[in-house]
C-alpha cells in the first residue's frame, strides 16, 4: 500500500498506524489500571478525563495557531514527544496526583497533533479525495490499534504499568523517525508579515472567528462536534466500570477480566476496519457518500445503543450494544472531519480543526463532571443514560448543516 502512494500520503498512513498502535497499547487497559492499581473511585475516574480534556481545551487554540503560523509538521512532532512523556509519567508513577499531571502533558501533546495532522495531509495531498484520505487514515489507525490492543493486553496480564511505559517509549521513537521522513512542501503561513507571537495569535484568532461566523455550515458542524464531546466522556470513562460492577464477566480459559477488555477493544477495532472498508468501497463505486445520512444515522445509533448498554445486565447483550455504540463513533468521525474540511480556508485549516478539537474538549469538560456526579450519586447506568441524551441536539443540527450552503 505504501509503495503505490506519494511520500506524504505514505508517511501519513504510517504515522496513523504506529501512533494508534502506541496509543492503543497505552490506553487499552488504562481504566483497569486506574481502578486496580491507582485505585480511583468513580468521581476521580471521571476527573482524570476531565483534567485531560481541560488541558486540551486550554492548549488547542494556541497549538492550532502555531501550526498555521510556523509549521504543521513541527506541531505534529512536538505532539508525539509530549505523548511519549505523558504516557511514561502515567505508567511509572501510579498515584492520583502524577496521573493527573500526566493527563496535562499528553493532553497538551494531543492538541499539537489534532488539527495539524489533518491540515498537513490535506495541503500535501490536495488532488486526492479527502473523504477517502481520512477514511483510509482511520482504517490504518484501526489496524494499528488492533496490534496495540493485543500487545497492551498481553503486557497488562504481566503488569498493568508495562503497556503505558512501552507505549510511551514507542511514541518517542516514532517522533524521532518522523523528524527524518515527514515532508512539508505545500505549507504557507496564514500571516506573511510577523508582528510577534502574541499579536500574530490575536490576528489569526480574529481572522478565524470572522471566517467561522460567515460559514453557516461550519458553525453547524462545530456545534455537532460540541455535542459529540458532551456525549463521549461518560461513555469512555464509565463503560469499563459498568462491565465490572453491573454484570458478571465470564471466565473462559485465559479470558479473565483484564484479558476480556483487550478482546473487546480488539473486536471493536476489527469492526471499525471492516466498516471503513465498506464505506471506502461504496465511495469508489458511487464517487461519494451522503455525509448528512452517515452523520445522522451514526448519531442516532450511538444514542440508541448507549441507552441499551446502560440498561443491560447480561454480559453478552452489553458486549453487543457496546461494540455497536463504539462503531457509530468510528464511522462518524472521519466523515465529519472531511465534511468540515470542505468548508475551511486552506491557510486556516489547522486553526479551524483545533477549534473543533477545543469544542470537543469543552463538551467533555462540561459533560464529564455531570455524568460523573450522576454515576456517583445515583448509579453508573444512569450516568451512561445521561451521556447518551447529551447527543440529542446533534439530531437537529445535522439537517441544518445538510440544507445550508456557504
The domains of the chain, with CATH numbers, are 1-182 (1.20.1250.20), 203-405 (1.20.1250.20)
Place of cell 480574529: 206
Q: Where are the alpha helices (DSSP H) in 159-290?
A: 162-181, 197-213, 216-230, 233-246, 257-286
C-alpha cell at 343: 468548508
Confidence category of residue 215, pLDDT binned at 50, 70, 90: low
Q: Report the range of poorest mean pLDDT among 3-17, 54-68, 114-128.
A: 54-68
- pLDDT value of residue 4: 46
CA 168, chain centre distance (Å) = 17
- pLDDT value of residue 153: 82
Q: Find out whether 268 and 239 touch, Cβ atoms under 8 Å.
A: no
What is the gyration radius of the CA atoms in the chain, in angstroms? 20
Q: How far apart are CA 272 and CA 266, in angstroms?
A: 10
Judged against a pLDDT cut of 60, whether residue 14 lies above it is answered with yes
Please enumerate in sequence order all residues whose Cβ is within 8 A of that of 326, keeping only pairs 6 or more positions apart, or say none: 268, 271, 272
> In whole numbers, what is the pLDDT of the chain averaged over residues?
81
Between the ranges 230-234, 240-244, 385-389, where is the mean pLDDT highest?
385-389
Q: How far is CA 160 from CA 25, 32, 33, 345, in A?
A: 11, 8, 6, 44
- pLDDT value of residue 40: 80
Place of cell 509538521: 73
**pTM metric for this prediction:** 0.68
Q: Find out whether 164 and 91 touch, Cβ atoms under 8 Å.
A: yes
Q: Report the range of poorest mean pLDDT among 51-60, 119-128, 265-274, 373-382.
A: 51-60
The CB-side HSE value for 197 (13 A sphere, CA atoms) comes to 5
Q: How far apart are CA 149 and CA 130, in angstroms?
A: 28
Q: Find out whether 238 and 46 touch, Cβ atoms under 8 Å.
A: yes
Q: Find out whether 265 and 147 touch, Cβ atoms under 8 Å.
A: no
User: Using CA of residue 170, residue 368, residue 351, residue 16, what is the dihedral sign?
Assistant: positive
- pLDDT value of residue 261: 78
Residues in the chain, total: 406
Q: How many helices (H) and strands (E) does the chain have?
A: 17, 0
Please enumerate in sequence order all residues whose Cβ is within 8 A of that of 127, keeping only pairs 6 or more positions apart, or say none: none
C-alpha cell at 176: 524521532
Amino acid at each position: 500500500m505504501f509503495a503505490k502512494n506519494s511520500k506524504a500520503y505514505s508517511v501519513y498512513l504510517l504515522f496513523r498506524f504506529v501512533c494508534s498502535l502506541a496509543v492503543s497499547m497505552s490506553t487499552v487497559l488504562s481504566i483497569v489500571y486506574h481502578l486496580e492499581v491507582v485505585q480511583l473511585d468513580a468521581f476521580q475516574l471521571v476527573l482524570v478525563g476531565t483534567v485531560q480534556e481541560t488541558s486540551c481545551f486550554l492548549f488547542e487554540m494556541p497549538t492550532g495557531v502555531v501550526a498555521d503560523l510556523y509549521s504543521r509538521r513541527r506541531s505534529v512532532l512536538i505532539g508525539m514527544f509530549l505523548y511519549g512523556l505523558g504516557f511514561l509519567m502515567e505508567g511509572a508513577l501510579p498515584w492520583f496526583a502524577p496521573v493527573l499531571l500526566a493527563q496535562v502533558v499528553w493532553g497538551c501533546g494531543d492538541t499539537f497533533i489534532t488539527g495539524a495532522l489533518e491540515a498537513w495531509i490535506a495541503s500535501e495531498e490536495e488532488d486526492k479525495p479527502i473523504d477517502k484520505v481520512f477514511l483510509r487514515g482511520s482504517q490504518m489507525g484501526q489496524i494499528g490499534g488492533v496490534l496495540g490492543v493485543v500487545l497492551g493486553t498481553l503486557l497488562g496480564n504481566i503488569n498493568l504499568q508495562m503497556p503505558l511505559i512501552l507505549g510511551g517509549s514507542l511514541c518517542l521513537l516514532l517522533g524521532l523517525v518522523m523528524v527524518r521522513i515527514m515532508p512539508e512542501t505545500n505549507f504557507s503561513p496564514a500571516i506573511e508579515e510577523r508582528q510577534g507571537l502574541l499579536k500574530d495569535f490575536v490576528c489569526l484568532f480574529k481572522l478565524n472567528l470572522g471566517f467561522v461566523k460567515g460559514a453557516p455550515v461550519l458553525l453547524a458542524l462545530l456545534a455537532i462536534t460540541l455535542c459529540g464531546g458532551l456525549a463521549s466522556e461518560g461513555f469512555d470513562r464509565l463503560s469499563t466500570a459498568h462491565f465490572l460492577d453491573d454484570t458478571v464477566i465470564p471466565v473462559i480459559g485465559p479470558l479473565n477480566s483484564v484479558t476480556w477488555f483487550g478482546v473487546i477493544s480488539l473486536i471493536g477495532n476489527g469492526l471499525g476496519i471492516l466498516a471503513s472498508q465498506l464505506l471506502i468501497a461504496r465511495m469508489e463505486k458511487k464517487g461519494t457518500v451522503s455525509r448528512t445520512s452517515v452523520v445522522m444515522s451514526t448519531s442516532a445509533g450511538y444514542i440508541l445503543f448507549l441507552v441499551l448498554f446502560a440498561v443491560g445486565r447480561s454480559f453478552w447483550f452489553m458486549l453487543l450494544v457496546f461494540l455497536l455504540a463504539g462503531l457509530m463513533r468510528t464511522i462518524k468521525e472521519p466523515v465529519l472531519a472531511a465534511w468540515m474540511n470542505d468548508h475551511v480556508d486552506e491557510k486556516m485549516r489547522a486553526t479551524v480543526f483545533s477549534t473543533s478539537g477545543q469544542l470537543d474538549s469543552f463538551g467533555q469538560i462540561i459533560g464529564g463532571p455531570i455524568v460523573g456526579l450522576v454515576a456517583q450519586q445515583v448509579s453508573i447506568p444512569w450516568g451512561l443514560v445521561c451521556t447518551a441524551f447529551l447527543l440529542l441536539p446533534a439530531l437537529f443540527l445535522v439537517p441544518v448543516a445538510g440544507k445550508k450552503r456557504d
